[in-house]
Amino acid sequence: MTEPNSTDPQLQSFIFAETQKQRFQVLVHGLTDKCWETCMGRPSNRLDSRTEACITNCVERFIDVTTFITKRLMNTTKYRSDSPLEFQ
């Protein structure tokens, strides 16, 4: 018998890939929710070009905001691993 905790490389890479895919899916669910609220009027026969453009911008800007906030937080917070996180 092999070591009880040994991980199978094939399963490991399968789980890794599926986790990545699922993270993407979760983000798409969330972004669709937000951008639908922001962009969608009354549902019609098709997505009109204005709504499409709004959704595209909504996704792009949301990512920009996340990136911006991440950068700014990294620059403005003093993080010390030996004490609780402080925000200043």
Partner 1 sequence: MDTMPTGSLTGAQKEELMDQVKQQIAIANAQELLTKMSEKCFKKCISKPGTSLDNSEQKCIAMCMDRYMDAWNLVSRTYSSRIQRERNNM
Handedness of CA 10, 14, 15, 16 (dihedral sign): positive
SS3 78: strand
SS3 32: helix
DSSP state of 8: P
Task: Report residue 10: phi and psi, to 5°.
Answer: -65, -45
Closer by beta carbon to partner 1, 3 or else 86: 3
Site for partner 1 in 1-60 (CB under 8 A): 1-8, 10-11, 14-15, 18, 21-22, 24-25, 27-29, 31-33, 35-36, 39-40, 42-47, 51-52, 55-56, 59-60
Closer by beta carbon to partner 1, 28 or else 69: 28
Q: Which residues bind partner 1 (CB under 8 A)?
A: 1-8, 10-11, 14-15, 18, 21-22, 24-25, 27-29, 31-33, 35-36, 39-40, 42-47, 51-52, 55-56, 59-60, 63
